[in-house]
Amino acid sequence: MNGMKALFLSLLLFFPALANAETSGQAVMVEGLGAAVTDQELEREIAYLLSKQASLGIPNLKTMERISGELLTNKLLLKEAMELGLEKDPKVQYEIQRAKQRALINARLALLSAEDLTDSQKSILAKEYWHAHQDEFKTKSKRGLSHILIGLRGRSEEEAAAGADKVYKQLLEAPDKFEAMAEELSDDPGSKIRKGSLGLVESDRLVPEFSKVAFALKAVGDISEPVKTRFGYHVIRLDEIVDAKLSSFEEVKDLAMEKALEAYVKNRQQQHLNALQASSNRKIHTDEIRRVWEKMFKPPE
């Protein structure tokens, strides 16, 4: 268990005891329109959010202020709803009932966790997951690319195509002039200052037409014929090839552990649901279901 998870658990164990505390004598965090948010309410909310959103991390002061303000707004909205008698609305009552049921169902399923596994068992699961899902632990294939863009701004498409074709033919004769021509002629300001270089890129980071041609180049130094995209016409040079590589288990052990335990819990919960279905000896009363369907949806004759 890492330090952040330990923090979450300690917060959850400590703050539920505050749930029924009286607000008198507590420090006020924010107040307005006769309502106030106390320190214990803020602590309770932060503990809850940490349990649900690990990505929240340790909140900074601004985040604490924002959450305090949201709590006050919610209090004021709740007060308005109660004054309007909305808790008596059948639709609202049903939503409250469903929310309570869902919370209890989630709490029951949460008991089917991986907490009963030993560290050794967790390590075995992680390694098995890594073996079985190696595509998830491969670095993506990358290419080091440079290009010269003859753009469409201020040119017709025919002029841009002719300009790119001229650049391509010149580079076939003098490929060593690529950098100088990129600095002089390219209409891509970002790569122009780097002599045309786009650096190492993955295929899905590029527009499809560009990516298809760039990743089809075979040898370092190869230069493509002009490629049309929505930006104009590109002449592409292949500078480097970095093939996809499987990360070793040690390199991705923590990620493999996280994914393996997530899969283990989901599988354990699904097994429990399957067992409930199998043991309940359920009988579907199709005629009664049809009657309800007809009542709700069948058009009048």
Q: What is the pLDDT of residue 263?
A: 97
Where is pLDDT greater, at 1 or 34? 34
Give me the pLDDT at residue 121, please: 97
The fraction of the chain above a pLDDT of 70, given in percent, is 91
pTM of the model: 0.62
Query: What's the pLDDT at 12?
Result: 40
In the chain, which ranges are continuous DSSP H helix? 3-14, 39-52, 61-83, 90-110, 119-132, 157-173, 178-185, 189-192, 208-214, 253-279, 286-297
Q: What digits encode the pLDDT tens for the residues 5-63?
A: 444 433 443 333 333 334 445 899 999 999 999 999 999 999 988 888 766 678 899 99
Three-state secondary structure call for residue 222? coil
Burial class of 222 by CB neighbour count within 10 A (0 to 12, 13 to 18, 19+): middle
Tens of pLDDT along 172-220?
Answer: 999 999 999 999 999 999 999 999 999 999 999 999 999 999 999 999 9
At 111, phi and psi to the nearest 5? Answer: -70, -20
Strand partners, 149: 234
Q: Is 33 left (phi over 0), alpha (psi -120 to 50) or beta?
A: left
Tokens representing 135 are 């595509």
Answer whether 269's CB lies under 8 Å from 112's CB.
Answer: yes
**C-alpha–C-alpha distance, residues 79 and 73, integer Å:** 10
pLDDT score recorded for residue 159: 97
Give the integer Cα–Cα distance in Å for 297 and 229: 51
Look at the block and give the residue holding tokens 């050794």. 120
Query: Which residues, 6+ apart, have CB-to-CB distance to 116 below 8 Å?
Result: none
Helix (H, G, I), strand (E, B) or coil at 38: strand
Reference 149, options 268, 234, 38, 60; nearest CA is 234
3-class DSSP state of 182:
helix
CATH of the domain spanning 141-243, picked from 3.30.460.30, 3.10.50.40, 2.60.40.420, 1.20.1260.10: 3.10.50.40
Q: What is the pLDDT of residue 151?
A: 96
Q: What is the pLDDT of residues 83-131, one digit of tens each?
A: 999 999 999 999 999 999 999 999 999 999 999 999 999 999 999 999 9
- Specify the pLDDT at position 58: 85
Domain regions of the chain by residue span: 3-88, 89-137+251-280, 141-243
Rounded CA separation 234/137 (Å)? 33
pLDDT the model gives residue 55: 66
Q: What pLDDT is attached to residue 54?
A: 64
Per residue in 138-153, pLDDT (tens digit) is: 999 999 999 999 999 9
**Which pLDDT score, from 0 to 100, does residue 4 have?**
41
The pLDDT, as a whole number, for residue 6 is 41
CA distance readout (Å), 68 to 31, 71, 217: 9, 5, 56
